[in-house]
Amino acid sequence: MRAVGAIILAVWSTWLFSQPAFAEKRVALVIGNSAYQNVTRLANPANDSGSMSETLKSAGFDVVELKRDLKVNEMRRALRDFSDRVRDADMAIVYFAGHGIEIDGTNYLIPVDAVLERDIDAFDEAIPLDRILTVIEPAKQLRLVILDACRDNPFGRTMKRTIASRTIGRGLAKVDPTSPNTLIAFAAKAGSTASDGDSKNSPFTAALVKHLPKPGLDLRKAFGFTRDDVLKATNNKQEPFIYGSLGGDDVALVPAVTVPPSATSPVDANAAIRRDYEFALQVSTKAVWDSFIRNNPSGFYTDLAKAQRDKLGAESASAAATEKARAAAEEQKRLAIEGARAIEQARAATLAREAEEARVAAERKKLLEEAKVAAAERAKAAAQAKAAEDARLAAEKAGKIEQARVAAERTAAERKEALEEARAAEAERAKAAAQAKAEEDARLAAAKKKVMEEAKAAEAERAKAEVQTKVANENKDPDNKPIGQVATLTPPDQAGEAIPKSDKSSATDIPRLLQVELRRVGCNTGAIDGNWNAAAQKSLGLFNKNAGTKLDAKVASVDALDVVRGKTGRICPLICDHGYKADGDNCTKITCRAGYEVGDDNTCERIEVKQRKMPVAKLTPSGARDAIEPRDQNRSLTPQGMHSSHHKLLPGEPPNGTIQLGARVVVQSSACRTGQMLELIGGSNTHNIPRKKRCIAAN
């Protein structure tokens, strides 16, 4: 019966392993990055990935995904999608060709859009190798990562280090896979770089596609043959390396071609015993091994079973001996504790005494601390009282400041209201002045119109009288009556008489009108009498000086009248009499306090009572006298009575306070004779110096 079962098992195994494909699922992800955007383009990764993809497809893999020139987001998405395929797979392979980098012991695969300006940018812009290992971890039999990414990295030369101690290695760093049945193949040993090659494929990938698809060739041998070919191709400059481990069974990408055994082939008699041994090995207890030995008293597998049973017995004896040693150690410890009890009691007494001393010290310390707390409370209360007093004083100060602010705002409001009222009054005054000027202009226009009409009427009367006279003459002398109509011509010598009387009448009004306008703009302080005398000429000269015009001051012309009328505001500054000061367009009287009076310069000066000195006559040399007093009829004549600045002013003399001390002013005055002018030398009431006056020749 056992022989028949062995025959059936052999036939079933032959049928199973002779099938062209295993029942296990095999998947692969192939990535080739050549078109790097921020560093030099790599030529071979695109070709290498294509060759590896074809190799895996020919090896009968169920899924082979080929991705090229992936950006960081695309690379993450490809790994995420591939993880779904790995979930129920038996064998998973990830192949990557492109740039890789090691930063501080961690390996990263670099997408084509990486910049890597700083070392910490790798966390966001690159894919760590650990993530790929996590993706393929669900595979049941084999997990394989092949990295042809140890090329000389151009990012490391320009990358900035945020921490000086952080290292950027040459090539990739050594890795130790933590999951079983995991292999990681580097194109070059850790810490060294791989060549991109001058041919279609890199030396590493060219050797891989040569040896991996060999049927029945174990992966470890295939990578060994690949190592030999790469060393030979690079003159021992590049040595591929594998990290990780596999079990004792051969693992080939392409299974070996098995020839079905013929019907006459001998059947393995130990197949059933080997199967029973493997089952017993999985349980591995003394009872199971005793059962196997009873059912199979002799043979190779029986000897193995006895060795396993003896091993379990030795392990049990060792465990028992360990337990016994532990119990002996505990007993020894207990005895040591019993023997040390007296010592412990003495030590306890000592500790009690020390504890009592510590308690007393603690009580004393507690009292000191309570005293400190009481002192701190008193200091706190004093500080709070002081703070309350400071707050009260600050509140009072703030209240006073607020009251002062309110008073200042009220004063400012009152001042503003007064200013507004003054502006309103000024506006009313200006409005009244404008109305008065308009009325004066209307009156002058009406007067001018009336004069023109009277002149026209007088001209008409004169023409009528001439016609009547002519008719009367013709009637008296009929012989002189002209034949037909005769034109009336004005003789040349009578052309001046043809000027209308209205123009002559209006010309006599121009001086008075001009005096009125000069008074309006503040340049005429004299009488408005129609006489264009020296005072009126001086007023027009003042207008020229302040208005910047060049009118002829000797003549009261219509042009001058039009120019002055064109000025809407004051032109000449306001000049007030002695004892008065300018206040806008008005003169206000100067008021001095007790003991002071207004001086010649219109300032309040202290009243000084001094004894008046008698004048002393001085002889003047003839040369000096000639310089001061003109000879003959131009001899200087002193006006009647020499007056100081405290006496009545002479006709034409400026008011007191308008001439500075020592200043010389010459004016016209009726107090002097014909052809003479009044000379004035300024004095000072403060220094009791009277103003000097005398008449001098006009030339």
The pLDDT value recorded for residue 483 is 41
Q: Residues 191, 151: contact at Cβ < 8 Å?
A: no
147, 223 contact by CB (below 8 A): no
Residue numbers of the chain with a pLDDT score lower than 70: 1-23, 150-152, 164-167, 169, 196, 257-269, 474-507, 609-647, 699
Task: Determine the Cα angle at 677 with ends 674 and 681, to 5°.
Answer: 155
Q: Is the dihedral of CA 336, 342, 343, 349 positive or negative?
A: positive
Q: Which residue has the tokens 């120019």?
A: 563
What would the CATH number be for the domain defined by 19-245? 3.40.50.1460
What are the structure tokens assigned to 503, written together? 């123009």
Q: Which residues pair with 273 in a beta bridge?
A: none
Rama region for 630: left / alpha / beta (φ>0; ψ in -120 to 50; rest): beta
Residue 283 CA from chain centroid, whole number: 75
Tell me the C-alpha distance between 536 and 530, whole Å.
9
Encoding tokens for residue 506? 């209006």
CB atoms within 10 A of CB 698: 14
**3-state SS, one letter per residue, for 244-303:** EECCCCCCCCCCCCCCCCCCCCCCCCCHHHHHHHHHHHHHCCHHHHHHHHHHCCCCHHHH
Amino acid at site 394: A
Q: Does the predicted TM-score (pTM) go above 0.85?
A: no
Per residue in 211-261, pLDDT tens?
988 888 888 889 999 999 999 988 988 889 899 888 878 888 888 766 555
Judge contact between 678 and 652, C-beta under 8 A.
Answer: yes
Distance CA 650, CA 640 (A): 10
Three-class SS state of 608:
coil
Helix (H) or strand (E) holding 326: helix 300-339
Pairing mode of beta strands 604-606, 596-598: antiparallel
Q: What is the pLDDT of residue 13?
A: 45
Calpha distance 608→688 (Å, rounded): 8
Report the alpha-carbon distance of residue 688 to residue 356 in Å, rounded: 109
What are the distances in angstroms from CA 192 to CA 26, 156, 205, 448, 699?
32, 14, 17, 119, 119
Cβ atoms of 9 and 276 closer than 8 Å: no
Among the listed residues 82, 74, 80, the one whose alpha carbon sits nearest the alpha carbon of residue 29 = 82
User: How distant, in Å, are the alpha carbons of 143, 617, 652, 663, 698 from that of 534?
Assistant: 126, 36, 11, 22, 14
CA atoms of 345 and 337, how far apart (whole Å): 12
Q: Give, in order, the Cα–Cα distances in Å from 635 to each of 181, 313, 667, 669, 677.
A: 144, 166, 17, 17, 12
What's the pLDDT at 609?
Answer: 58
- Which backbone phi and psi does 448 adopt, to 5 degrees? -65, -40
pLDDT at residue 635, as a whole number: 41
* Tokens representing residue 552 in the block: 């002829």
